[in-house]
């Protein structure tokens, strides 16, 4: 039951932000500022109503990172791509696959959710600018429960299963 409540909270947050983006430009502007640690506090009024403990850096930073990415991308609905697949889809074959692998490896090297958020901020801008439809709900859940190796394994599986034959034999 607790797992369902966590998923519902993530789903409710993403749905709420997406549904309000058209009508609430001030919210979008404040959420975009969550990308910068110096101005992140401006997003807190939108995080707290979803039970985000603002004193708990890991949780606050996960919500803030995903909210900022949503505000920048302005999707009409949540995407379908996990972060691994989104990274792979953002690069076209050849030398670009090496860049994609390097970005994934940097993300997989993160020791904490907070560090992953710092790496994801510019990476999310890049993949969204290249048309990747990121599943923000899944990403938020992954960041909230990052402590297990399973998250990293899932991201790697997602990446390599998408790029599979394209990346073989490049190293």
| Residue 134, beta-bridge partner list | 81
Residues 26-46: pLDDT tens digits? 999 999 999 888 999 999 999
Query: Taking residues 9-30, what's their average pLDDT?
Result: 95
The DSSP string of 98-120 is: HHHHHHHHHHHT--SHHHHHHHH
Residues 106-120: pLDDT tens digits? 999 999 999 999 999
Query: Taking residues 88-114, what's their average pLDDT?
Result: 87
In the chain, the number of structural domains is: 1
Q: What are the phi and psi torsion angles at 81 (to 5°)?
A: -90, 130
Specify the CATH number for the domain of residue 29.
1.10.520.40
**Residue 126 — very low, low, confident or very high, per pLDDT cuts 50/70/90?**
very high
Structural domain boundaries, residue 32? 2-167
> Is the confidence at residue 49, as pLDDT, over 60?
yes
């Amino acid at each position: 039951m607790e797992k369902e409540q966590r998923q519902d909270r993530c789903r409710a947050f993403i749905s709420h932000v997406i549904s309000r983006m058209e009508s609430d430009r001030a919210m979008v502007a404040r959420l975009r500022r969550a990308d910068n640690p110096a101005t992140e506090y401006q997003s807190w009024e939108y995080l707290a109503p979803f039970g985000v403990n603002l004193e708990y850096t890991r949780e606050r930073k996960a919500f803030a990172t995903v909210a900022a990415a949503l505000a920048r991308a302005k999707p009409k609905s949540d995407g379908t791509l996990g972060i691994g697949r989104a990274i792979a889809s953002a690069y076209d074959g050849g030398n670009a696959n090496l860049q994609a692998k390097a970005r994934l490896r940097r993300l997989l090297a993160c020791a904490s959710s907070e560090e992953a958020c710092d790496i994801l901020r510019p990476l999310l801008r890049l993949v969204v600018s290249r048309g990747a439809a990121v599943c923000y709900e899944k990403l938020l859940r992954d960041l909230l429960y990052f402590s297990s190796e399973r998250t990293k394994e899932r991201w790697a599986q997602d990446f390599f299963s998408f790029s599979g034959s394209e990346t073989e034999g490049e190293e």
